[in-house]
Amino acid sequence: MSEVPQFTLLHGNDEFAIAAHIEKLCAGLGDPSNTDMNIARFDGRAGLDYEAFNRAVNTAPFLATRRVVVLMHPIPALNSPETRKKVLDLFDKAQPTTTIVLAEFEELKSGHWLVKWAQAGSRALIRVYNLPKRWEMPRWIESEAKKQGGRIEPDAAVLLSERVGEDTRIAAQELTKLLAYANFERPISVLDVERVSILSAQGSVFELVDALGQRDGKKAQHTLHQLLEDEDALEFWGMVIRQFRLLIQTRELLDENSSVQEIQKSLGLHEFVAQKVTNQAKRFSMPVLEAIYHKLLEIDEGVKTSQVPLNVALDTFIIELALKS
């Protein structure tokens, strides 16, 4: 563990890759039975309890050579000059046996104060993790399949990428299921993706959005409840967020008088998907789509901070949206 840097700054919009980096770092702490005792996590969006953070940074590791302290969203935690100075001074005096990870889920510009701090004297290891572009996803999927100990055929990777968009977390989860289905004995095929992946769930998401666009709250709720029975709520949630992000992009292109073919090319979509999202986007105005997306982000934060169960939040969201859309 002597080669592990004391400070690491992770930033970018690929939450899955950032989480994987942190998980790998924590896995290197040694005996799994002691791991939890040597990891402390803080979320800057909820404010920073300086005393608790100070104790975490300066506590000696328990039956291990190091401990890890993770501060998610450090920028909102250190938004005041006083707090920032206090915490950065704490870092300068931190125990050498503590590894401090700062994780911000958007790419920071080179001139940002946190990047400058990390770069000064090569103080911190800096890694940028951004979601792959849509056209890069098939190659990312092939690479992730190898990391998980298996293989996927190129055509199957393309098909899976069409279903998950740029969502690397869902793509990785789907690969785990598909590789288990293939028993790691052969490459994942197109037929495997059609049989095992979230293909059917994606169709249900289209159906859900159609119902919302038609202000059919009863049908929207029925579709939602069916999905929650058949699919993992978190996977489905990621698909809903992706769908409305796609609708915003499509609405922008429609407002620029783009054709379906131009939308398909610009967003890197399958022909069927391009036609479907175009029809759906026409049923929503841009202000409505932006309001929906902001609401989704609020729900996401509430779920991640355990303020509300995801199924309850989704049900409420569908009822409100069916009335407004």
Q: In the chain, what are the domain boundaries?
A: 7-128, 134-196, 199-324
- Is there a common fold for 134-196 and 199-324? no
Q: Which regions of the chain are under pLDDT 70?
A: 1-2, 197-204, 230-233, 235, 270-272, 322-325
199-324 fold: Zinc Finger, Delta Prime; domain 3 (1.20.272)
pLDDT score of 230: 62
pLDDT score recorded for residue 1: 41
Q: Where are the beta strands (DSSP E) in the chain?
A: 7-11, 39-43, 67-72, 98-104, 125-128
**What pLDDT, in 10s, does the model give residues 15-63?**
889 999 999 888 888 777 777 888 999 998 878 899 999 999 999 888 8
Residue-level pLDDT at 216: 73
d(Cα 139, Cα 204) in Å, to the nearest integer? Answer: 27
**3-state SS assignment for residue 109:** coil
SS3 170: helix
Cβ atoms 198, 177 nearer than 8 A? no
The hierarchical CATH code for the domain 134-196 is: 1.10.8.60
Domain 7-128 fold is Rossmann fold (3.40.50)
Predicted confidence at residue 272, as pLDDT, reads 66
Looking at residue 101, its pLDDT comes to: 96
Positive or negative, the CA dihedral 318, 321, 322, 323 is positive
Q: Give the model's pLDDT for residue 2.
A: 47
Strand partners, 299: none
